[in-house]
Structure 1
Amino acid sequence: MFSFYKGKLHLSYYFALASVFLSGCSLIPTQEPQALVEQTQQQRINQLSQLRQWQIKGKIAFIDKNARNSASLSWKVNENLPSQQLNLTTYLGINVLQLDSNANSHEIQVDGKTYHGTNLEALVYSITGLTLPTQALTYWLKGIPYQKTDHIIYQEVSQLPTSLTSQYNNELWQVNYAKYQQINGYNLATQFSIKKDDLLIKIIVNDWSTSN
Protein backbone atom coordinates (compact mmCIF):
# COMPACT_ATOMS: atom_id res chain seq x y z
CA MET A 1 0.00 0.00 0.00
CA PHE A 2 1.34 3.39 -0.95
CA SER A 3 1.29 6.64 0.97
CA PHE A 4 3.82 9.34 0.22
CA TYR A 5 4.63 10.13 3.84
CA LYS A 6 2.92 9.82 7.18
CA GLY A 7 0.40 12.61 7.61
CA LYS A 8 0.32 13.38 3.91
CA LEU A 9 -2.07 12.38 1.18
CA HIS A 10 -2.65 8.63 0.78
CA LEU A 11 -3.03 7.49 -2.85
CA SER A 12 -2.81 3.72 -2.43
CA TYR A 13 -6.28 3.08 -3.85
CA TYR A 14 -5.38 4.69 -7.16
CA PHE A 15 -1.87 3.44 -7.84
CA ALA A 16 -1.05 0.22 -9.67
CA LEU A 17 1.72 -1.85 -8.12
CA ALA A 18 5.18 -0.92 -9.31
CA SER A 19 5.79 -4.55 -10.21
CA VAL A 20 3.62 -3.94 -13.28
CA PHE A 21 5.96 -1.11 -14.23
CA LEU A 22 9.07 -3.17 -13.58
CA SER A 23 7.88 -6.48 -15.01
CA GLY A 24 9.28 -5.88 -18.47
CA CYS A 25 6.19 -4.82 -20.38
CA SER A 26 7.27 -3.45 -23.75
CA LEU A 27 7.33 0.33 -23.98
CA ILE A 28 9.64 0.75 -26.97
CA PRO A 29 8.10 2.55 -29.96
CA THR A 30 7.27 0.32 -32.88
CA GLN A 31 8.63 2.68 -35.56
CA GLU A 32 12.09 2.08 -37.02
CA PRO A 33 14.64 3.91 -34.84
CA GLN A 34 16.66 6.68 -36.48
CA ALA A 35 20.44 6.92 -36.22
CA LEU A 36 21.67 9.11 -33.40
CA VAL A 37 23.04 12.53 -34.31
CA GLU A 38 26.80 12.93 -33.84
CA GLN A 39 27.47 15.94 -31.60
CA THR A 40 30.00 17.27 -29.15
CA GLN A 41 28.87 17.72 -25.55
CA GLN A 42 28.51 21.48 -25.97
CA GLN A 43 26.68 21.19 -29.30
CA ARG A 44 24.14 18.93 -27.63
CA ILE A 45 23.64 21.30 -24.70
CA ASN A 46 23.24 24.27 -27.05
CA GLN A 47 20.73 22.42 -29.24
CA LEU A 48 18.58 21.06 -26.40
CA SER A 49 18.59 24.41 -24.60
CA GLN A 50 16.56 25.65 -27.58
CA LEU A 51 14.04 22.80 -27.24
CA ARG A 52 11.36 24.55 -25.24
CA GLN A 53 8.19 22.65 -26.17
CA TRP A 54 7.99 18.91 -25.65
CA GLN A 55 5.80 16.12 -24.34
CA ILE A 56 6.53 12.67 -22.98
CA LYS A 57 4.22 9.71 -22.44
CA GLY A 58 5.17 6.55 -20.62
CA LYS A 59 5.39 5.09 -17.12
CA ILE A 60 6.64 6.42 -13.81
CA ALA A 61 7.41 4.53 -10.60
CA PHE A 62 8.02 5.90 -7.10
CA ILE A 63 10.09 3.57 -4.94
CA ASP A 64 11.20 4.07 -1.35
CA LYS A 65 12.05 1.80 1.57
CA ASN A 66 8.36 1.42 2.44
CA ALA A 67 6.55 1.03 -0.88
CA ARG A 68 6.67 0.76 -4.66
CA ASN A 69 4.01 2.34 -6.86
CA SER A 70 3.61 3.21 -10.52
CA ALA A 71 1.35 5.08 -12.90
CA SER A 72 1.04 6.05 -16.54
CA LEU A 73 2.60 9.43 -17.24
CA SER A 74 1.77 12.24 -19.65
CA TRP A 75 3.81 15.44 -19.26
CA LYS A 76 3.58 18.42 -21.62
CA VAL A 77 5.90 21.41 -21.17
CA ASN A 78 6.02 24.79 -22.93
CA GLU A 79 8.90 26.82 -21.53
CA ASN A 80 8.03 29.79 -23.77
CA LEU A 81 4.83 30.65 -21.85
CA PRO A 82 5.81 28.98 -19.43
CA SER A 83 3.21 26.28 -18.85
CA GLN A 84 2.99 22.57 -18.16
CA GLN A 85 0.37 19.86 -17.80
CA LEU A 86 1.12 16.59 -16.04
CA ASN A 87 -1.24 13.65 -15.66
CA LEU A 88 -0.74 10.41 -13.74
CA THR A 89 -3.24 7.61 -14.26
CA THR A 90 -3.47 3.94 -13.30
CA TYR A 91 -3.39 1.20 -15.91
CA LEU A 92 -7.19 1.20 -15.65
CA GLY A 93 -7.28 4.86 -16.69
CA ILE A 94 -8.19 6.19 -13.23
CA ASN A 95 -6.72 9.66 -12.68
CA VAL A 96 -4.22 9.79 -9.83
CA LEU A 97 -2.93 13.34 -10.17
CA GLN A 98 -3.42 16.22 -12.59
CA LEU A 99 -1.21 19.30 -12.66
CA ASP A 100 -1.89 22.49 -14.64
CA SER A 101 0.68 25.27 -14.40
CA ASN A 102 0.77 28.68 -16.04
CA ALA A 103 3.71 30.88 -15.04
CA ASN A 104 3.52 31.03 -11.22
CA SER A 105 -0.06 29.79 -10.94
CA HIS A 106 -0.29 26.06 -10.20
CA GLU A 107 -3.32 23.82 -9.76
CA ILE A 108 -3.16 20.19 -8.64
CA GLN A 109 -6.18 17.90 -8.62
CA VAL A 110 -5.83 14.70 -6.65
CA ASP A 111 -8.13 12.42 -4.69
CA GLY A 112 -11.15 14.53 -5.66
CA LYS A 113 -9.66 17.72 -4.25
CA THR A 114 -8.10 20.77 -5.90
CA TYR A 115 -5.09 22.63 -4.52
CA HIS A 116 -3.61 25.95 -5.66
CA GLY A 117 -0.28 27.65 -5.09
CA THR A 118 2.35 29.97 -6.54
CA ASN A 119 5.36 27.78 -5.62
CA LEU A 120 5.06 24.40 -7.32
CA GLU A 121 7.63 22.55 -5.24
CA ALA A 122 6.10 23.83 -2.00
CA LEU A 123 2.64 22.89 -3.24
CA VAL A 124 3.73 19.34 -4.15
CA TYR A 125 5.39 18.96 -0.76
CA SER A 126 2.31 20.20 1.12
CA ILE A 127 0.17 17.57 -0.62
CA THR A 128 2.50 14.58 -0.84
CA GLY A 129 5.40 15.16 1.52
CA LEU A 130 7.78 14.71 -1.42
CA THR A 131 10.50 17.26 -2.13
CA LEU A 132 10.70 17.11 -5.92
CA PRO A 133 12.92 19.27 -8.18
CA THR A 134 10.01 20.06 -10.49
CA GLN A 135 11.65 22.90 -12.44
CA ALA A 136 15.03 21.19 -12.69
CA LEU A 137 13.45 18.02 -14.05
CA THR A 138 12.34 19.83 -17.20
CA TYR A 139 16.06 20.29 -17.94
CA TRP A 140 17.36 17.01 -16.55
CA LEU A 141 15.00 14.94 -18.70
CA LYS A 142 16.63 16.52 -21.74
CA GLY A 143 20.03 15.60 -20.31
CA ILE A 144 21.22 19.18 -19.83
CA PRO A 145 22.17 21.05 -16.63
CA TYR A 146 19.65 23.19 -14.79
CA GLN A 147 22.28 25.07 -12.82
CA LYS A 148 25.96 25.71 -13.52
CA THR A 149 27.07 23.40 -10.72
CA ASP A 150 25.23 20.37 -12.17
CA HIS A 151 27.83 17.76 -13.14
CA ILE A 152 27.29 15.49 -16.16
CA ILE A 153 29.25 12.33 -16.97
CA TYR A 154 29.31 11.44 -20.67
CA GLN A 155 29.77 8.14 -22.48
CA GLU A 156 33.21 8.22 -24.09
CA VAL A 157 32.26 7.20 -27.63
CA SER A 158 28.73 8.58 -28.11
CA GLN A 159 29.31 11.71 -25.98
CA LEU A 160 25.80 11.24 -24.55
CA PRO A 161 25.08 11.74 -20.84
CA THR A 162 25.13 8.64 -18.66
CA SER A 163 24.51 10.46 -15.37
CA LEU A 164 23.91 13.90 -13.90
CA THR A 165 24.59 14.91 -10.31
CA SER A 166 23.11 18.04 -8.77
CA GLN A 167 23.20 19.72 -5.39
CA TYR A 168 19.70 21.12 -5.80
CA ASN A 169 18.25 23.09 -2.86
CA ASN A 170 20.99 21.64 -0.66
CA GLU A 171 19.96 18.08 -1.50
CA LEU A 172 21.98 15.63 -3.60
CA TRP A 173 20.16 14.30 -6.68
CA GLN A 174 21.47 11.82 -9.24
CA VAL A 175 19.91 11.13 -12.63
CA ASN A 176 20.96 8.13 -14.73
CA TYR A 177 20.18 7.90 -18.46
CA ALA A 178 19.74 4.93 -20.82
CA LYS A 179 18.21 3.85 -24.14
CA TYR A 180 18.80 6.94 -26.29
CA GLN A 181 16.77 7.56 -29.42
CA GLN A 182 16.90 10.22 -32.11
CA ILE A 183 13.67 12.20 -31.98
CA ASN A 184 13.29 14.86 -34.69
CA GLY A 185 17.02 15.51 -34.71
CA TYR A 186 17.43 15.41 -30.91
CA ASN A 187 19.25 12.63 -29.05
CA LEU A 188 17.00 11.92 -26.06
CA ALA A 189 17.07 9.23 -23.39
CA THR A 190 13.99 7.07 -22.91
CA GLN A 191 14.88 5.52 -19.54
CA PHE A 192 15.67 7.49 -16.39
CA SER A 193 16.36 6.77 -12.75
CA ILE A 194 16.25 9.77 -10.44
CA LYS A 195 17.51 9.25 -6.90
CA LYS A 196 17.70 11.23 -3.65
CA ASP A 197 18.33 9.51 -0.32
CA ASP A 198 15.81 6.65 -0.06
CA LEU A 199 13.58 7.90 -2.88
CA LEU A 200 14.00 6.44 -6.37
CA ILE A 201 11.91 7.62 -9.32
CA LYS A 202 12.00 5.57 -12.51
CA ILE A 203 10.65 6.85 -15.81
CA ILE A 204 10.28 4.95 -19.07
CA VAL A 205 9.29 7.06 -22.08
CA ASN A 206 7.52 5.36 -24.96
CA ASP A 207 6.74 8.58 -26.82
CA TRP A 208 8.75 11.80 -27.08
CA SER A 209 7.12 14.71 -28.96
CA THR A 210 9.13 17.85 -29.74
CA SER A 211 8.37 21.25 -31.25
CA ASN A 212 9.63 24.82 -31.00
Structure 2
Amino acid sequence: MMFLLNYRFFWSIFFLGNMLSACSFHEQIHENRLTPMPLQWKQNQKIIKNITQYQIRGVLSWFSGKKKGYAYFNWYQKLPGHYRLLLTNPLGFTIFQINQEDQSTQFICKLRHCPNDSNIEEALFRMTGMSFPLENIHQWIMGLPGNITTFTIDEQYHLRQLNFSENGKIWRILYLAYHSVPSLPSLPSKIELHQGKQSIILSIYS
Protein backbone atom coordinates (compact mmCIF):
# COMPACT_ATOMS: atom_id res chain seq x y z
CA MET A 1 0.00 0.00 0.00
CA MET A 2 1.22 3.50 -0.79
CA PHE A 3 0.36 6.67 1.06
CA LEU A 4 1.35 10.28 0.51
CA LEU A 5 1.25 12.14 3.80
CA ASN A 6 0.03 15.71 3.83
CA TYR A 7 -0.65 17.57 7.06
CA ARG A 8 -0.91 21.21 8.16
CA PHE A 9 1.77 23.55 9.45
CA PHE A 10 2.22 24.04 13.16
CA TRP A 11 5.35 26.20 13.76
CA SER A 12 6.66 27.40 17.08
CA ILE A 13 10.07 27.27 18.78
CA PHE A 14 10.34 26.72 22.49
CA PHE A 15 12.19 24.55 24.94
CA LEU A 16 10.42 22.01 27.16
CA GLY A 17 11.82 20.23 30.16
CA ASN A 18 10.64 16.87 31.34
CA MET A 19 8.07 15.44 28.93
CA LEU A 20 7.50 12.10 30.60
CA SER A 21 3.92 11.39 31.56
CA ALA A 22 2.84 9.46 34.61
CA CYS A 23 0.78 7.34 32.23
CA SER A 24 3.67 6.48 29.93
CA PHE A 25 5.14 3.03 29.50
CA HIS A 26 8.90 2.61 29.72
CA GLU A 27 10.61 -0.01 27.60
CA GLN A 28 13.69 -1.47 29.28
CA ILE A 29 16.34 -4.04 28.41
CA HIS A 30 16.46 -7.16 30.57
CA GLU A 31 19.03 -9.73 29.51
CA ASN A 32 18.60 -8.81 25.83
CA ARG A 33 14.82 -9.15 26.11
CA LEU A 34 12.48 -6.16 25.92
CA THR A 35 9.69 -5.57 28.42
CA PRO A 36 6.35 -6.30 26.68
CA MET A 37 4.68 -3.20 25.25
CA PRO A 38 0.92 -2.55 24.88
CA LEU A 39 -0.83 -4.23 21.95
CA GLN A 40 -2.12 -0.91 20.57
CA TRP A 41 1.46 0.40 20.37
CA LYS A 42 2.54 -2.67 18.41
CA GLN A 43 -0.43 -2.37 16.04
CA ASN A 44 0.28 1.32 15.38
CA GLN A 45 3.93 0.58 14.67
CA LYS A 46 3.00 -2.17 12.22
CA ILE A 47 0.72 0.18 10.27
CA ILE A 48 3.35 2.92 10.07
CA LYS A 49 6.04 0.48 8.95
CA ASN A 50 3.79 -0.56 6.04
CA ILE A 51 3.80 2.98 4.61
CA THR A 52 6.04 2.81 1.56
CA GLN A 53 5.71 6.28 0.04
CA TYR A 54 5.51 9.57 1.89
CA GLN A 55 6.57 13.18 1.68
CA ILE A 56 6.97 15.75 4.45
CA ARG A 57 8.19 19.33 4.53
CA GLY A 58 9.04 21.65 7.34
CA VAL A 59 11.61 23.73 9.16
CA LEU A 60 14.84 22.57 10.78
CA SER A 61 16.13 24.89 13.52
CA TRP A 62 19.34 24.54 15.51
CA PHE A 63 20.75 26.02 18.70
CA SER A 64 24.39 25.16 19.36
CA GLY A 65 26.49 27.58 21.38
CA LYS A 66 26.69 30.76 19.32
CA LYS A 67 25.28 29.02 16.25
CA LYS A 68 21.57 29.56 15.74
CA GLY A 69 19.68 29.26 12.51
CA TYR A 70 17.07 27.50 10.48
CA ALA A 71 16.52 25.98 7.07
CA TYR A 72 13.64 24.41 5.18
CA PHE A 73 13.64 20.69 4.49
CA ASN A 74 11.80 18.47 2.04
CA TRP A 75 11.82 14.72 2.64
CA TYR A 76 10.49 12.31 0.02
CA GLN A 77 10.54 8.52 0.21
CA LYS A 78 9.36 6.49 -2.75
CA LEU A 79 10.32 3.06 -1.38
CA PRO A 80 11.77 1.79 1.91
CA GLY A 81 15.47 2.63 1.83
CA HIS A 82 14.98 5.03 -1.10
CA TYR A 83 14.63 8.64 -0.03
CA ARG A 84 15.67 12.20 -0.83
CA LEU A 85 16.38 14.93 1.71
CA LEU A 86 16.65 18.48 0.38
CA LEU A 87 17.70 21.34 2.65
CA THR A 88 17.26 24.94 1.45
CA ASN A 89 17.92 28.36 2.95
CA PRO A 90 15.14 30.95 3.52
CA LEU A 91 15.69 32.29 -0.01
CA GLY A 92 15.06 28.86 -1.53
CA PHE A 93 18.65 28.07 -2.51
CA THR A 94 19.88 24.51 -1.96
CA ILE A 95 22.19 23.97 1.01
CA PHE A 96 22.63 20.29 0.39
CA GLN A 97 20.78 17.25 -0.89
CA ILE A 98 20.99 13.58 0.09
CA ASN A 99 19.79 10.85 -2.28
CA GLN A 100 19.67 7.42 -0.66
CA GLU A 101 18.99 4.21 -2.58
CA ASP A 102 19.53 1.08 -0.53
CA GLN A 103 23.26 1.17 0.32
CA SER A 104 24.13 3.84 -2.24
CA THR A 105 24.25 7.47 -1.07
CA GLN A 106 24.65 10.56 -3.25
CA PHE A 107 25.53 13.78 -1.42
CA ILE A 108 25.31 17.19 -3.09
CA CYS A 109 26.73 20.00 -0.94
CA LYS A 110 26.33 23.72 -1.67
CA LEU A 111 27.80 25.02 1.58
CA ARG A 112 30.57 27.58 1.33
CA HIS A 113 33.08 25.14 2.81
CA CYS A 114 31.89 21.65 1.95
CA PRO A 115 33.78 18.59 3.26
CA ASN A 116 36.16 17.27 0.62
CA ASP A 117 35.14 13.68 1.30
CA SER A 118 31.37 14.37 0.95
CA ASN A 119 30.85 13.47 4.60
CA ILE A 120 27.18 14.18 5.33
CA GLU A 121 27.50 14.35 9.10
CA GLU A 122 30.51 16.67 8.77
CA ALA A 123 28.46 18.98 6.55
CA LEU A 124 25.69 19.06 9.15
CA PHE A 125 28.26 19.79 11.86
CA ARG A 126 29.66 22.75 9.93
CA MET A 127 26.17 24.15 9.46
CA THR A 128 24.65 23.49 12.91
CA GLY A 129 27.64 22.86 15.19
CA MET A 130 26.21 19.42 16.03
CA SER A 131 27.19 15.91 14.93
CA PHE A 132 23.73 14.75 13.93
CA PRO A 133 23.09 10.94 13.89
CA LEU A 134 21.47 9.95 10.59
CA GLU A 135 21.21 6.17 10.66
CA ASN A 136 17.63 6.04 11.98
CA ILE A 137 16.35 9.45 10.85
CA HIS A 138 13.98 7.95 8.25
CA GLN A 139 12.21 6.07 11.05
CA TRP A 140 12.32 8.79 13.72
CA ILE A 141 10.44 11.28 11.54
CA MET A 142 7.60 8.74 11.31
CA GLY A 143 7.45 8.13 15.04
CA LEU A 144 9.33 4.81 14.93
CA PRO A 145 12.18 4.10 17.38
CA GLY A 146 14.36 2.34 14.78
CA ASN A 147 17.04 0.30 16.52
CA ILE A 148 16.82 2.36 19.74
CA THR A 149 15.65 0.13 22.60
CA THR A 150 15.23 2.68 25.40
CA PHE A 151 12.17 4.84 24.86
CA THR A 152 8.87 5.96 26.35
CA ILE A 153 5.38 6.16 24.88
CA ASP A 154 2.42 8.22 26.06
CA GLU A 155 -1.15 7.25 26.94
CA GLN A 156 -2.13 7.62 23.25
CA TYR A 157 0.54 5.03 22.29
CA HIS A 158 2.67 7.65 20.56
CA LEU A 159 6.43 7.65 20.81
CA ARG A 160 7.30 10.29 23.43
CA GLN A 161 11.06 10.08 24.05
CA LEU A 162 14.15 8.22 22.82
CA ASN A 163 17.41 7.93 24.76
CA PHE A 164 20.66 6.61 23.30
CA SER A 165 24.39 7.21 23.13
CA GLU A 166 26.57 7.49 20.02
CA ASN A 167 30.31 8.09 19.87
CA GLY A 168 30.34 8.80 23.59
CA LYS A 169 27.58 11.42 23.37
CA ILE A 170 24.20 11.13 25.08
CA TRP A 171 21.20 11.97 22.91
CA ARG A 172 17.58 12.61 23.87
CA ILE A 173 14.80 12.91 21.29
CA LEU A 174 11.46 14.39 22.34
CA TYR A 175 8.21 14.12 20.40
CA LEU A 176 6.30 17.26 21.34
CA ALA A 177 3.32 17.16 18.98
CA TYR A 178 1.43 14.81 16.68
CA HIS A 179 -1.09 15.41 13.93
CA SER A 180 -4.00 13.23 12.87
CA VAL A 181 -3.81 11.59 9.46
CA PRO A 182 -6.85 9.89 7.84
CA SER A 183 -6.80 6.08 8.10
CA LEU A 184 -3.41 6.14 9.87
CA PRO A 185 -2.11 6.51 13.43
CA SER A 186 -1.15 10.07 14.33
CA LEU A 187 2.26 11.12 13.00
CA PRO A 188 4.86 13.53 14.46
CA SER A 189 4.57 17.25 13.74
CA LYS A 190 7.30 18.48 16.10
CA ILE A 191 10.49 16.69 17.19
CA GLU A 192 13.37 17.98 19.30
CA LEU A 193 16.84 16.41 19.43
CA HIS A 194 19.05 17.30 22.38
CA GLN A 195 22.72 16.61 22.98
CA GLY A 196 23.99 18.44 26.04
CA LYS A 197 22.99 22.09 25.65
CA GLN A 198 22.65 21.74 21.90
CA SER A 199 19.29 21.29 20.20
CA ILE A 200 17.80 20.61 16.79
CA ILE A 201 14.07 21.12 16.19
CA LEU A 202 12.10 19.59 13.34
CA SER A 203 8.75 21.31 12.74
CA ILE A 204 6.78 19.38 10.13
CA TYR A 205 4.00 21.22 8.32
CA SER A 206 2.99 19.19 5.25
- Partner of 2:144, secondary structure, is coil
| Matches of 2:91 and 2:165, distance apart in 1 | 37
Q: 2:53 aligns to what? A: 53
Q: Is the 8 A contact 2:114 2:123 kept in 1?
A: no
| Matches of 1:90 and 1:153, distance apart in 2 | 34
| Matches of 2:88 and 2:122, distance apart in 1 | 21
Unaligned 5+ runs, structure 1: 1-19, 24-38, 208-212
- Partner of 2:173, secondary structure, is strand
Q: Is the 8 A contact 1:107 1:114 kept in 2?
A: no
Q: 2:22 aligns to what? A: none
| Matches of 2:79 and 2:166, distance apart in 1 | 20
Q: 1:161 aligns to what? A: 159
In structure 2, give the amino acid aligned to 1:191: K
What are the Cα deviations for residues 101-125 of structure 1, in whole angstroms up to 9, with x where unaligned? 22323222223788797xxxx8213
- Aligned residues, how many? 166
Q: CA deviation at 1:68?
A: 0.7
Q: Is 1:96 matched with 2:92?
A: no
Q: Is 1:180 matched with 2:181?
A: no
Structure 1 204/186 Cα, relative in aligned 2: closer, same or farther at 3 Å?
same
- Partner of 2:137, secondary structure, is helix
Alignment of 1:1-212 (within 5 A): 22=13, 40-80=40-80, 82-103=81-102, 104-111=104-111, 123-129=119-125, 130-147=130-147, 149-156=148-155, 158-168=156-166, 170-184=168-182, 185-207=184-206
Structure 1 142/116 Cα, relative in aligned 2: closer, same or farther at 3 Å?
farther
Q: CA deviation at 1:188?
A: 0.4
In structure 1, give the amino acid aligned to 2:119: L
| Matches of 1:83 and 1:111, distance apart in 2 | 24
TM-score (norm 2): 0.68
In structure 1, give the amino acid aligned to 2:70: S
Q: CA deviation at 1:190?
A: 0.2
| Matches of 1:52 and 1:114, distance apart in 2 | 32
Q: Is the 8 A contact 2:97 2:109 kept in 1?
A: yes
Unaligned 5+ runs, structure 2: 1-10, 15-38
- Partner of 2:44, secondary structure, is helix
Q: Percent identity?
A: 16
* RMSD of Structure 2 on Structure 1 (CA): 2.8
What are the Cα deviations for residues 147-204 of structure 1, in whole angstroms up to 9, with x where unaligned? 1x42221222x22222122234553221111221122413101011011223311011
| Matches of 2:84 and 2:91, distance apart in 1 | 20
What are the Cα deviations for residues 114-142 of structure 1, in whole angstroms up to 9, with x where unaligned? 8797xxxx821343434222121111122
- Partner of 2:92, secondary structure, is coil
In structure 2, give the amino acid aligned to 1:153: T
| Matches of 2:158 and 2:122, distance apart in 1 | 36
- Partner of 1:127, secondary structure, is helix
Q: CA deviation at 1:100?
A: 2.0
Structure 1 79/132 Cα, relative in aligned 2: closer, same or farther at 3 Å?
farther
- Partner of 1:46, secondary structure, is helix
TM-score (norm 1): 0.67
- Partner of 1:132, secondary structure, is coil
| Matches of 2:196 and 2:78, distance apart in 1 | 30
Q: Is the 8 A contact 2:151 2:162 kept in 1?
A: yes
